[in-house]
Structure 1
Amino acid sequence: MNGTTPGSGSGDEPKRDPFSSPSGDRPDQDPQSPGLPSWRESVPSESNMPPAPMEGGGMSFAPRPIVLAVRLMYVGAGLTALSLLFALFSRDSIRDAVIDSDPDLTQSEIDTAVNISYGVATVFPLIAIGLWLWMAWANKRGRSWARVVATILGGLNILFALMNITLGGFGLNTLLNLISPVLAGVILYLLYRPESGEYYRQMSAPKF
């Protein structure tokens, strides 16, 4: 015997340790090397993953018509703020209008009429701004009652705007009154799109 174990001759292939890694397969080897599956291929990228549902089964995102409607509500709030700014500097115009309507009024009556008209012209826009922002917040979250309230407010907005257009002369306030009914109509159209209705249905579904 020459001291060698069977199978260790020059013509025999060396035995491999079954617990060792294959040749060149180190744990820190690049998983993108040819012939080796990449663990990254089994993990979906974040961009390809579907949106996760919200707790309770609702949708985690608003459809495009709702997003556009909410943005237009913010535009409506901005236009109303512009109308408020215009009203703040219209006290003299209001006084002139009161005097022209009835020249026989006393100074006390004129002051009372101007104060009331000025208060209405400034308070109503503040309330309207709050309603615009409230409707934007509620409809963005898919509250079904918010769409109903927005429908009622939108109809009143269109009605009052048309009344102001027929009663007043042309000016900045009249221009805003022309934009307001168009804006309200577009918003209501977007809120009643099929995908919007599905969004309201899912977001208002009972949460278990």
Structure 2
Amino acid sequence: MYVGAGLTVVAAVYPLIDRSVLADHIKAGYPAYGSGAIDSAVTAYLAILSTIGVLGLLGWLGTAWAARAGKRWARPLAAGLLAIAVCVAVAGLTVRDTSGDVGLAPLPGWLQVLPCVAGLAAVVLWRRTE
């Protein structure tokens, strides 16, 4: 689960480090946008991706705590959080904006999938520790 938490941090931090990925994607979809409008759109995406990252990290840490504490609801929690994460990742990869292109740049979108892979492994390989 800690690998998934780490991947969640990577997915959340990468766009903050390399804002140009989002800016270039927005500029390609909306060539008439000025730098102010592009910066505003990038800031909005960064806020959304950061919020998703924080919520994802809290989910990973909460599930790890529940599993370590032997809570019976830990596995259903992990499965439910995985389902939510998959929906968010699929939305990031497929939702189109008014330009006709996907709204989220492909690289940050695919980075959202990485924690889902770790989540799938955690749910499938789950074993109760006693």
Is the TM-score greater than 0.5?
yes
Find out whether 1:132 has 2:67 as its counterpart: no
1 CA distance for matches of 2:34 and 2:109? Answer: 28
Which residue in 2 is equivalent to 1:113? 41
1 CA distance for matches of 2:60 and 2:47? Answer: 20
Shift of 1:172: 7.6
2 CA distance for matches of 1:86 and 1:173? Answer: 11
Contact 2:5/2:115 (CA < 8 Å) preserved in 1? no
**How many percent identity over aligned positions?**
27
**TM-score when scaled to structure 1?**
0.48
The size of the alignment, in residue pairs, is 121
Shift of 1:152: 0.8
SS at match of 1:144: coil
Q: Quick one: higher RCO (CA 8 Å, sep 6+), 1 or 2?
A: 2
Q: In the TM superposition, what whole-angstrom CA distance separates every residue of 1:20-62 from its partner, at most 9, and x where no partner exists?
A: xxxxxxxxxxxxxxxxxxxxxxxxxxxxxxxxxxxxxxxxxxx
Shift of 1:164: 4.1
**TM-score when scaled to structure 2?**
0.72
Contact 2:5/2:57 (CA < 8 Å) preserved in 1? yes
Coordinate RMSD, CA, aligned: 2.8
Provide structure 1 residue ranges, at least 5 long, that are not aligned to the other structure.
Answer: 1-72, 200-208
Find out whether 1:187 has 2:115 as its counterpart: no
Provide structure 2 residue ranges, at least 5 long, that are not aligned to the other structure.
Answer: 95-101
Q: How is 1:16-27 mapped onto 2 (pairs within 5 angstroms)? A: none
Shift of 1:76: 0.3
2 CA distance for matches of 1:175 and 1:109? Answer: 25
Matched to 1:125, the amino acid is G
Which residue in 2 is equivalent to 1:65? none
Shift of 1:104: 2.4
SS at match of 1:104: coil
